[in-house]
Amino acid sequence: MKNIIFFKPAKQTENIGDLLINLVEVELLRPYGQIVVDDLSAPSWFVDEISTSPADQRLSKISGNQLLKTLSSLLVKQLFSKKNQYYLFIQPGHTSRTGKDLAISTLKLNLKMNLLKMLGLRICRIGFSIGPVDVPNGWAESIGSRAYHYYALRDHESLKIAQQYNFKDPQYFPDLAWAYAPEKIEKQAGDYVVISLRSNAYGKEHDSAYLQPLIAKFRELLINAGQQSLKVMITYQVKYDRDACVELYENLKNEFNCEFVDSKLTLKEANKIYGSAKFIVSNRLHVLLLALKCGGLSFALVDQKDNKKITSIFHDNNLKELILDVKENANSNAERLKKGLSKSNEIMAEFKTIQAGNKKVIEDKLNSIFS
């Protein structure tokens, strides 16, 4: 029996973090069957970036219908002579829902998913996180989890939410960035720090009130840790963070030697810039993980209570010494930064061990899905 694996890409394509984990997932799934990427729900450039093998198929080339209609038709056709095992892998990333309308739409979608499951479809979602969710959406997602063959979350805070709402058999599956292998390129040790901050707590609109305390904390951090002579390179890998970069530059340019890279980084550009930096400071999960994968010492500047996605993953992977809390005093964070810089080689060596362990877990769990 042949495995046909349909992959639904991320809707958010403005973030190279999403590009990264979607690319990795397609590459990891390819050895297990024929890949069919849903190119009707994502831009063609994004689909081309994540699906690099000529053997991969596109949904638009095999059907004139949307994804769920195509799957329904294929499953009905083989009800009495099962030749293929069909899988649907839904994009990794993050799910956060509040409001009664979203809960109702989630329930409607999950009814369709359960019907497809009854027809033999194996629905999977791996390496993602959930929360915050309100009560209606928590239970809507719980009902939806019954449709899944494999439902696997990337951090233990998300697993707590799943347990709270009695999800069906939630599993742990590391963030897919752990399995990314950056292109090997020549790098030079740079005398600069990279700063990359969100423009808001949630959503796409720039929020100066959210950003200003982070800018103040970053400024204090450099001064108190004796790093103010470093060049400050301001970058973004999410389209909607550009306004944050502009505000960062305007606030820091008169006091520090600043450079603003005014374009969304590609994976190759990020590899070179992050890997050559003295260190990186961010509150974007995949800036931090990508930078570490590229060889850059990365510190999470976060509110440990609010930024649970980052703090949970860092705690899960014994990286808590790289967390700088915006609620702590400047001297405390500066000491943590200095300590991290003084033992950077040790930390990066330990990170390589951690990422190798996570990659092995990812491979073992994928084998279990298809066994």
Per-residue pLDDT for 303 more than 90?
A: no
Per-residue pLDDT for 34 more than 80?
A: yes
How far lies 103's CA from each of 98, 112, 136, 264, in Å? 7, 15, 6, 33
Question: Comparing C-alpha atoms, which of 5, 59, 61, 44 is closest to residue 28?
Answer: 5
What percent of the chain clears pLDDT 70, i.e. is strictly above it? 99
Cα 35 to the chain's mean position, in Å? 21
**CB atoms closer than 10 angstroms to residue 105:** 13
pLDDT of residue 113: 93
Per-residue pLDDT for 90 more than 80?
A: yes
Each residue's pLDDT tens digit, 133-162: 999 999 999 999 999 999 999 999 999 999
Mean pLDDT for 204-226 is 92
User: What three-state secondary structure class fits 40?
Assistant: coil
Each residue's pLDDT tens digit, 354-369: 999 999 999 999 999 9
Confidence of residue 337 (pLDDT cuts 50, 70, 90): very high
Q: What one-letter code names the amino acid at 73?
A: S
- Residue holding tokens 């729900």? 41
Q: Are 6 and 87 in contact (CB under 8 A)?
A: yes
Q: Which two tokens stand for residue 68?
A: 């769920």
Per-residue pLDDT for 4 more than 90?
A: yes
DSSP-H helix ranges across 201-276:
208-224, 242-252, 267-276
Question: Comparing C-alpha atoms, which of 195, 192, 230 is closest to residue 214?
Answer: 195
Mean pLDDT, all residues of the chain = 93
Each residue's pLDDT tens digit, 243-255: 999 999 999 999 9
What are the phi and psi torsion angles at 36 (to 5°)? -125, 115
DSSP symbol at 306: T
Confidence of residue 63 (pLDDT cuts 50, 70, 90): confident
Mean pLDDT for 211-220 is 94
- Residue holding tokens 């053997």? 55
Number of H helices, E strands in the chain: 14, 14
Q: Are 324 and 221 in contact (CB under 8 A)?
A: yes
Measured distance CA(289)–CA(287) in Å, rounded:
6
Mean pLDDT for 18-44 is 96
Confidence of residue 307 (pLDDT cuts 50, 70, 90): confident
Each residue's pLDDT tens digit, 260-291: 999 999 999 999 999 999 999 999 999 999 99
pLDDT of residue 50: 95
Each residue's pLDDT tens digit, 161-184: 999 999 999 999 999 999 998 877
Confidence of residue 12 (pLDDT cuts 50, 70, 90): confident
Confidence of residue 72 (pLDDT cuts 50, 70, 90): very high
